Amino acid sequence: MFESLGEKLQAIFKNLKRKGKLNEKDVDSVLREVRLALLEADVSLIVVKDFTKQVKEKAVGQEIWNSLTPAQLVIKLVKDQLTEIMGSTNSKLGFSPTPPTILMLIGLQGSGKTTSVAKLAIHLKKQGKNPLMVAADIYRPAAIHQLEVLGEQLKIPVFSLGDKQDPVNVCAAAVKKAATLACDVVIIDTAGRLHIDEELMDELKNIKTKVCPHEILLVVDSMIGQESVNVAKTFEEKVGIDGVILTKMDGDARGGAALSVKSVTGKPIKFVGIGEKTEALEPFFPDRMASRILGMGDVLSLIEKAEATFDAEKVEELEEKIRSQTFNLEDFLQHLQQVKNMGPLDQLVGMIPGLSNIAGASDLKVDEKRFKRLEAIIYSMTREERRDPEIIRSSRKKRIATGSGNTVAEVNQLLKQFKEVRKMLKHVSDIEKVVKKKGKGKFKLFN
């Protein structure tokens, strides 16, 4: 997610930090590189022009406290502007004071509507809601069956009248059924098309008129890049939308859709899909995403994932280990399975401040098989070795490699990665200790 754009922007700012004072020519040069990086990420040209203009206007003549260098200020301004174009703040779903709240998901065929309905349902169920999923896509083969299977897996009720009924009547009947089932949220899975056509739009408008949804969420495939913004704009004009769910963000290294859709449509991104699992749906936080893009991490989301996976006692224990910098291989082993439940490691890497800049961070993107090899290596160590990896020398490495069915090189690789993780944890701990100092003197950004 944003891997390509993030790497480019981080490289630009790495060079910027080497400079002491900046002049206007320096900032112009940086913004040209930023502009190119955004365009290569498939961000809308109009959005890019406005972005660089806003950053330049805020930078010129800016006065800052002595605690910031001019380079740091430019980075801060870029981060703030990235946050602004993505919507500034998290936009939450609005719930009706009189249940049920009706959520209508719309979009093109293949955008991931049906799976998004299920993901949204499980997300709301975890929040204490009692959702009802509605199978109103009577055209796509097996669409109804797909939703029913997902409902059975998630233990969430699904309403269907088969593929012979009019979708408008299906939705109206579902709202009535919700009351008898004590469901306080109705999530409607509507039909899509391979492309936008008037017949589709008319059907969506009729459903909207009949059931009066409290929110209409457009599901957009982020992998189609700039075209996703055009799709969002058309649906907003033809039907009207209240927010966007961007799917397949885990496979979109550029991220142009996320950076353009709010500015072009005026509608917020409310959720992002980051994987195939039903839990792989996250509320969208523009400020956190901007931090991830610039390699500053997203500690809040990481903590929230940990809290959802670990019990409170484990969270406190982990926090204490991080603060005291005593996190060892024994702790790593203890938390390995829980970390797996938090999501793919390559996604967690982007949430950790500075980790993308640490050598070997890319090696942390491990798969299930490699996880098992890591476990085998750690299980083959003695308790003393797990608690103090520094004592593991050549003879111990050979014994561990033999016992785990791996090579000495793989043992070395694990130990090297563990040292990098400890550096990262120290970095996270240092963040908590930072105290903002207000300097008395000010200086101009440009000399």
In this prediction, residue 175 carries a pLDDT of 93
* CA end-to-end span of the chain: 37
Q: State both tokens at 245.
A: 């769910």
| CA-closest candidate to residue 235, choices 280, 278, 277, 190 | 190
pLDDT digits (tens, 9 = 90+) for 140-160: 878 899 999 999 999 999 999
pLDDT digits (tens, 9 = 90+) for 69-104: 666 777 788 888 888 888 877 888 889 898 899 999
Minimum mean pLDDT range among 10-14, 104-108, 169-173, 310-314: 310-314
Q: pLDDT class for 351, splitting at 50, 70, 90?
A: low
Give ranges for CATH 3.40.50.300 in the chain.
Answer: 101-293
Residue recorded with tokens 């249940």: 99
Minimum mean pLDDT range among 107-121, 226-240, 398-412: 226-240
Q: Domain spanning 3-85: which superfamily?
A: SRP54, nucleotide-binding domain (1.20.120.140)
| pLDDT average, residue stretch 182-205 | 87
What's the per-residue H, E or C state across the chain? CCHHHHHHHHHHHHHHHCCCCECHHHHHHHHHHHHHHHHHCCCCHHHHHHHHHHHHHHHCCCEEECCCCHHHHHHHHHHHHHHHHCCCCCCCCCCCCCCCEEEEEECCCCCCHHHHHHHHHHHHHHCCCCEEEEECCCCCCCHHHHHHHHHHHHCCCEECCCCCCCHHHHHHHHHHHHHHHCCCEEEEECCCCCCCCHHHHHHHHHHHHHHCCCEEEEEEEHHHCHHHHHHHHHHHHHCCCCEEEEECHHHCCCCHHHHHHHHHHCCCEEEEECCCCCCCEEECCHHHHHHHHCCCCCHHHHHHHHHHHCCHHHHHHHHHHHHHCCCCHHHHHHHHHHHHHHCCHHHHHCCCCCHHHCCCHHHHCCCHHHHHHHHHHHHCCCHHHHHCHHHCCHHHHHHHHHHHCCCHHHHHHHHHHHHHHHHHHHHHHHHHHCCCCCCCCEEECEC
Computed over every residue of the chain, the mean pLDDT equals 78
Q: pLDDT class for 65, splitting at 50, 70, 90?
A: very low
| Distance (Å) of CA 224 to CA 228, 238, 249, 285 | 6, 20, 11, 22
- Give bridge partners of residue 159 from the DSSP assignment: 134
Options 3.40.50.300, 1.10.10.60, 3.10.20.90, 3.30.70.3270; CATH for 101-293 is 3.40.50.300
pLDDT digits (tens, 9 = 90+) for 234-285: 888 888 999 999 888 776 555 677 777 887 788 888 998 877 777 778 888 8
Give ranges for CATH 1.10.260.30 in the chain.
Answer: 299-433
| pLDDT average, residue stretch 388-400 | 92
- Give bridge partners of residue 158 from the DSSP assignment: 133
In this prediction, residue 2 carries a pLDDT of 64
In this prediction, residue 331 carries a pLDDT of 78
Give ranges for CATH 1.20.120.140 in the chain.
Answer: 3-85
Q: pLDDT class for 344, splitting at 50, 70, 90?
A: low
Q: Strand pairing of 281-283 and 269-273? A: antiparallel
Burial class (CB in 10 A: 0-12, 13-18, 19+), 241: buried
| pLDDT average, residue stretch 397-424 | 88
Q: Domain spanning 299-433: which superfamily?
A: Signal recognition particle, SRP54 subunit, M-domain (1.10.260.30)
In this prediction, residue 362 carries a pLDDT of 47
The yes-or-no verdict on residue 30 having pLDDT over 70 is yes
